């Protein structure tokens, strides 16, 4: 089943949700983010499937938010944050395991979505990239809490440095749990879910015990929202987005020649 840029199919009683906009590296517009949260909640009850796999079509997991224009008010930023935050809530509310099958680069909000999943499996092509700090943008999805929970002291350099983290390093520091061949990625994620969720009753209870507490996640949301407002009021957010668009739309320069 395809719902615009989100494909859904059932593989051996596991729901595989695929972000399917490969021509744009699976960037997520508002409608896709809303549908993703709704779909996770629909399958997350445990009544239909044993677990959920999130992945992307083509060479990217997702390049994050679909930035079509420079926001004209903080309210627009807040609304964008809200749709990402709701995906995080939906994942953490499920009664079944959720695994991110990170098939390629995961940028910004998409990278952050993987942090709240119960496991992250990658391929040699997997990359994590948090460019926000160098664009005047503020991290979201409770990543200010979840990143440190996963990788501890590495969180500072990942967020502040805005450097790409390749698959091997991601595995070493704990962003990834394992690396497999690209052609086996989704199958491996499905296999892990079926192994983990042999008894849905106890699995749901353990998920509740092992996942971050809702109050900690909500506190992180609030802090991130406040930081985003401050970034907007300082002008950093607007300048960062304008710079991003200027770099994307810049005409190529002619090569210099020497006489």
Q: What pLDDT score does 96 carry?
A: 99
222: in domain: no
Length of the chain: 259
Per-residue pLDDT at 254: 38
pLDDT score, position 168: 99
Considering the domain boundaries, does residue 220 fall inside one? no
CA–CA dist 11, 101 (Å, integer): 14
Q: Of 110, 106, 124, nearest to 164 (Cα)? A: 106
Which residue matches tokens 């989100």? 6
pLDDT of residue 251: 42
Q: At residue 47, what are phi and psi to the nearest 5 degrees?
A: -80, -25
In-domain check, residue 68: yes
Dist. CA 202–CA 204, nearest whole Å: 5
Residue 259 inside a domain? The answer is: no
CATH at 30: 3.90.226.10
How far is it, in rounded angstroms, from Cα 102 to Cα 54?
8
- Residue 242: the pLDDT is 82
Return d(Cα 218, Cα 142) in angstroms, integer: 8
Helices (H), strands (E): how many in the chain?
A: 10, 11
Is residue 154 assigned to a domain? yes
Domain interval for residue 44: 2-183+196-210
Q: What is the pLDDT of residue 52?
A: 99
Q: Where are the alpha helices (DSSP H) in 65-213?
A: 74-93, 108-115, 143-151, 154-161, 167-173, 185-196, 200-210
The answer to whether the predicted template modeling score (pTM) of the entire model surpasses 0.85 is: yes
Which SS3 state, helix, strand or coil, does residue 24 take? helix
Q: Would residue 239 count as lying in a domain?
A: no
Provide the residue-wise pLDDT of the chain in tens; the chain has 259 residues: 556 899 999 998 999 999 999 999 999 999 999 999 999 999 999 999 999 999 999 999 999 998 776 778 889 889 989 999 999 999 999 999 999 999 999 999 999 999 999 999 999 999 999 999 998 899 999 999 999 999 999 999 999 999 999 999 999 999 999 999 999 999 999 999 999 999 999 999 999 999 999 999 999 999 999 999 999 999 998 888 887 767 665 443 433 333 3
In a domain, 258, yes or no: no
- 159 found inside a domain: yes
Q: How many domains does the chain have?
A: 1
* Residue 179 DSSP code: E
């Amino acid at each position: 089943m395809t719902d615009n840029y989100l494909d859904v199919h059932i593989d051996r009683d596991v729901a595989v949700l695929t972000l399917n906009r490969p021509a744009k590296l699976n960037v997520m517009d508002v409608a896709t983010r809303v549908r993703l949260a709704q779909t996770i909640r629909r399958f997350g009850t445990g009544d239909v499937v044993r677990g959920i796999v999130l992945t992307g079509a083509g060479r990217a997991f997702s390049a994050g938010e679909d930035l079509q224009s420079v926001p004209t008010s903080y309210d627009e930023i807040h609304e964008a944050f809200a749709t990402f935050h709701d995906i995080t809530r939906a994942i953490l509310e499920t009664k079944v395991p959720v695994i991110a099958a990170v098939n390629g680069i995961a940028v910004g909000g998409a990278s952050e979505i993987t942090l709240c999943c119960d496991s992250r499996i990658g391929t040699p092509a997997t990359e994590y990239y948090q460019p926000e700090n160098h664009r005047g943008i503020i991290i979201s999805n409770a990543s200010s809490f979840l990143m440190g929970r996963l990788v501890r002291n590495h969180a500072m350099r990942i967020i502040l440095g805005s450097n790409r983290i390749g698959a091997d390093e991601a595995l070493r520091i704990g962003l990834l749990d394992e690396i497999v061949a690209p052609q086996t990625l989704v199958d491996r994620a499905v296999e892990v879910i079926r192994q983990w969720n042999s008894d849905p009753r106890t699995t749901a209870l353990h998920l509740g015990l092992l996942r971050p507490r809702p109050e900690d996640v909500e506190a992180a949301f609030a802090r991130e929202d406040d930081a985003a407002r401050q970034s907007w009021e300082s002008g950093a957010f607007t300048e960062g987005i304008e710079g991003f668009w200027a770099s994307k739309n810049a005409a190529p320069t002619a090569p210099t020649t020497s006489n």
